[in-house]
């Protein structure tokens, strides 16, 4: 088991210890005998499920849809609610008894407070797992590009990222996204990595989703770190078999009409391979670019943006962060889980004449939950700026 998964199990066990207090309080109020025994059994079960999944390496496997809906997703609602309760519940359990002792009143654990906090977390988690996660938006954004070839003014790019097709996000959900992108009638469609969650069992489903995408100038894909949580080469072959172009440290020139003297020369579309596994090579991706062509770079990890800006890339399209998946509603840019871990974590950024757009992602990884960060199909319209 990796260090990350060990920490994951430890956090789960800690959250279940606090949940034990909430479960005891609920059982007591329902008049159930041996309430502590029942609560301990539930807490142990909650920890054991995560331990077993961690021991398996968290590889994604196919399961009956009914099992996912009735067992897996409810478990993650409980897991998220327990995590929500962990800090306030633990603080209450540590601080309230000493205060009661000093006041000379009977010492009791703050069961009502912990139960109330858990139920509030359960409501938020239920919404995030069963509703918000599946409710995506289509967003239109204009991007000014200095010196853009005037023939590409108004050029529309449908941007998808972090599909994470698998057990928690089935092919049918992915097809809803692809059809939304197609309805936007884009000139170009791009996917910036993490098409899979882990393993190799969902490659055919991913190919079906990507193969459903349509754009005038084609569909282009860059690879992300999760795409190598298995064997990425068969995935690349299946994607290319659909007609999509998988760019791995390479680029090509998109043109419109006839070139005229004195005009900027087309649009250079390039992509780097995954940075986590050190497959990326930006120099190769930009090699051959005409000096007068504006460059659009697909880079799954937005951390590569400063290097892209140094090389004169006009627009970098990234994903990877999911915007944290959980954020304060309406303040996802300022207060999300990814804000602490990533300098560029959501939306638009600029360095000099270069622009970065970090996609919020469509699927999920880890807990299948979204709150305050809507999954989105994003359509970027390029606008010429002198």
Question: What pLDDT is stored for residue 283 in this prediction?
Answer: 96
Domains of the chain: 3-130 (no CATH), 138-385 (3.60.21.10)
Question: What pLDDT is stored for residue 333 in this prediction?
Answer: 62
Q: Judge contact between 134 and 363, C-beta under 8 A.
A: no
Q: Judge contact between 163 and 206, C-beta under 8 A.
A: yes
CA distances from 112 to 12, 92, 228, 309, 325 (A): 22, 11, 46, 54, 29
Neighbours of 23 (CB within 10 A): 25
> How far is the C-alpha of 332 from the C-alpha of 336, rounded, in Å?
5
Across-strand partners of 358? 318, 347
> How far is the C-alpha of 288 from the C-alpha of 371, rounded, in Å?
43
Question: What pLDDT is stored for residue 195 in this prediction?
Answer: 97
Per-residue tens of pLDDT for the chain, all 386 residues: 677 778 888 999 999 999 999 999 999 999 998 999 999 999 999 999 988 887 776 788 999 999 999 999 999 999 999 999 999 999 999 999 999 888 888 889 999 999 999 999 999 999 999 999 999 999 999 999 999 999 999 999 999 999 999 999 999 999 999 999 999 999 999 999 999 998 899 999 999 999 999 999 999 999 999 999 888 999 999 999 999 999 999 999 998 876 665 566 789 999 999 999 999 999 999 998 998 899 999 999 999 999 999 999 999 999 999 998 988 776 666 556 666 667 899 999 999 999 999 999 999 998 999 999 999 999 999 999 87
Neighbours of 183 (CB within 10 A): 13
> How far is the C-alpha of 96 from the C-alpha of 21, rounded, in Å?
13
Q: Which residues lie closer than 8 Å to 114 by C-beta, 6 or more apart?
A: 18, 21, 22, 25, 85, 89, 92, 93
Task: Sheet with 347-351: list strands edge to edge.
Answer: 250-254, 267-271, 294-298, 315-318, 354-358, 347-351
Verdict on whether the full-model pTM lies above 0.85: yes
Question: What pLDDT is stored for residue 59 in this prediction?
Answer: 83
> How far is the C-alpha of 356 from the C-alpha of 347, rounded, in Å?
8
> How far is the C-alpha of 96 from the C-alpha of 340, rounded, in Å?
31
Question: What pLDDT is stored for residue 136 in this prediction?
Answer: 96
Cα 23 off chain centre by: 32
Residue 359 phi, psi dihedral angles, 5° rounding:
-75, 145
Question: What pLDDT is stored for residue 175 in this prediction?
Answer: 98
> How far is the C-alpha of 93 from the C-alpha of 371, rounded, in Å?
27
């Amino acid at each position: 088991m990796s260090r990350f998964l060990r920490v994951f199990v430890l956090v789960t066990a800690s959250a279940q210890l606090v949940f034990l207090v909430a479960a005891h309080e609920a059982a007591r109020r329902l008049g159930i005998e041996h309430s502590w025994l029942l609560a301990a059994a539930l807490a142990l079960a909650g920890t054991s499920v995560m331990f077993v999944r961690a021991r398996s390496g968290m590889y994604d496997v196919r399961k009956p849809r009914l099992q996912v809906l009735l067992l897996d997703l409810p478990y993650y609602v409980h897991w998220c609610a327990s995590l929500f309760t962990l800090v306030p519940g633990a603080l209450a359990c540590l601080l309230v008894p000493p205060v009661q002792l000093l006041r000379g009143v009977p010492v009791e654990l703050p069961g009502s407070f912990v139960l109330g906090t858990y139920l509030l977390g359960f409501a938020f988690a239920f919404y995030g797992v069963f509703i918000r996660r599946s409710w995506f938006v289509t967003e239109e954004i204009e991007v000014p590009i200095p010196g853009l070839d005037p023939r590409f003014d108004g050029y529309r790019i449908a941007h998808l990222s972090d599909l994470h097709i698998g057990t928690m996000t089935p092919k049918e959900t992915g097809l809803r996204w692809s059809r939304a992108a197609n309805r936007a009638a884009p000139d170009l469609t791009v996917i910036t990595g993490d098409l899979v969650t882990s393993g190799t069992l969902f490659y055919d489903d991913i190919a079906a989703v990507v193969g459903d995408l349509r754009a005038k100038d084609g569909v282009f894909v860059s690879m992300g770190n999760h795409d190598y949580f298995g064997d990425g080469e068969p995935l690349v072959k299946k994607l290319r078999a659909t007609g999509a172009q998988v760019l791995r440290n390479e680029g090509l020139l998109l043109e419109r009409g006839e070139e005229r003297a004195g005009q900027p020369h087309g649009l250079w579309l390039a992509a780097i391979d995954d940075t986590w596994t050190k497959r990326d090579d930006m120099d190769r991706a930009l090699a051959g670019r005409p000096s007068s062509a504006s460059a659009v770079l697909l880079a799954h990890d937005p951390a590569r943006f400063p290097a892209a800006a140094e090389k004169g890339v006009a627009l970098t399209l990234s994903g990877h962060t999911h915007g944290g998946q959980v954020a304060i509603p309406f303040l996802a840019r300022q207060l999300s889980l990814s804000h602490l871990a990533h300098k560029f974590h959501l939306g638009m950024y600029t360095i000099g004449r270069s622009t970065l757009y970090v996609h919020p992602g469509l699927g999920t990884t880890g807990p299948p939950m979204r709150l305050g960060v809507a999954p989105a199909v994003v359509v970027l319209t390029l606008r010429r700026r002198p």
